Amino acid sequence: MTNVKIGVVGIPGKWSTETLCDAVEARTGFRHVIDMADVSLDLATGALWHGDTDLSTFDGLIIKKISQEYCPHTLDRLEMLRTAEARGVQIFSNPTAILRLIDRLSCTVSLRNAGIPMPDTIVTENRAAALEAVRRFGSAVFKPLFSTKARGMCVLEASSPEADLQREIASFSEENPVMYIQQKADLSGQDLGMVFLGGRYLGTYARVSQTDTWNTTIESGGKYAPFEPDKELIALAEKAQRPFGLDFTTVDVALTPDGPIVFEVSAFGGFKGALEGAGLEAATLYADYVLEKVTS
């Protein structure tokens, strides 16, 4: 199909970005990778410039990755993309929907309001309250509000000397004034990524720990593996992603001795886990989905 211009917002050279671009180019003959660090917004005209290309003239934009790491500035990039949307460009997923997921607290509040089971969580700026949370949980994970893949997270144990806990809480608080504190869950060495496209369930993969680290992320040595969930687990993940209205996402789920819990709904979803763990060509499926939406 020609004359259809679909750009991919992502990190040039990164596997997931380039794989999605390959799939789009194979279907349209058009390729354009957009690093938001190089984009300029002209509010007087509504133009969104990437080099000498006005992105607001495209038929569609797919947001594969908005920045290398999450931070408050990431929200500004999404706001810029809203101007292209206002001029008629279809954006996948909708920037407003993604905005609700970049901030960990926003995602958590939405999930809790939807009745989704999650780890017990305390959010506070008060260091004494944070110390009390550690005592209450026994083992607590301190998480930055803007982070992915367990970056910046730390585990504090109630059994540690109080002076050490106070020092570590103070150190975390210096970087993260609003402290997001979750009870450490028994993951039994794995957690799950449950993949959805347009709200439709596609498949599940597991992230399996290969070390004694507390998390299962690939960056910490975890490996992808197949997993077949039951209908109840699929229904839980479907319910978790529903309020956000994302075009493509992964729901992070853990199976604990007390039942399944949801950690988060991903703003962008993972292609590599879907491929290596579930055998899903997510980039191809996503490109087909977007092209159908743009041309219908």
- Inside any domain, residue 112: no
Q: What CA dihedral angle connects 212, 213, 216 and 222, to 10 degrees?
A: -60
pLDDT value, residue 212: 61
- Residues of the chain where predicted confidence (pLDDT) is lower than 70: 1-2, 210-221
93 and 14 inside one domain = yes
Residues in Cβ contact with 21 at an 8 Å cutoff, skipping those fewer than 6 apart? 8, 10, 31, 32, 33
**pLDDT tens per residue across span 17-62:** 999 999 999 999 999 999 999 999 999 999 999 999 999 999 999 9
Which residues fall within 8 angstroms of residue 220, CB to CB, at 6 or more apart?
150, 209, 211, 213
What pLDDT is recorded for position 293? 97
pLDDT of amino acid 186:
85
d(CA 152, CA 34): 27
Number of structural domains (the chain) is: 3
Whether residues 198 and 256 fall in one domain: yes
CATH number at residue 29: 3.40.50.20
Residue 18 CA to residue 91 CA, distance in Å, equals: 18
| Cα(118)–Cα(253) distance, integer angstroms | 9
User: What's the rounded Cα separation, in Å, for the pair 288 and 36?
Assistant: 24
166 and 245 fall within a common domain: no
Q: Is residue 246 part of a domain?
A: yes
| pLDDT (0 to 100) of residue 58 | 98
Task: Look up the pTM and report it.
Answer: 0.91
Would you say residue 259 lies in a domain?
Answer: yes
Residue 221, in any domain of the structure: yes
Residue with tokens 């939406």: 293
In-domain check, residue 167: yes
Q: What is the pLDDT of residue 67?
A: 87
CB atoms within 10 A of CB 103: 18
Is 213 domain-assigned? Answer: yes
Same domain, 170 and 252: no
Whether residues 271 and 222 share a domain: the answer is yes
C-alpha closest to that of 282 among 40, 19, 101, 90: 19
111 domain-assigned = no
Looking up residue 212, the CATH number of its domain turns out to be: 3.30.470.20
Could you tell me if 224 and 275 lie in one domain?
Answer: yes
Q: Is residue 114 part of a domain?
A: no
pLDDT at 71: 73
Q: What is the pLDDT of residue 73?
A: 82
Q: Which domain holds residue 62?
A: 6-101+286-295
Total residues belonging to the chain: 296
Which residues contact residue 45 at a Cβ distance below 8 angstroms, ignoring those fewer than 6 apart? none
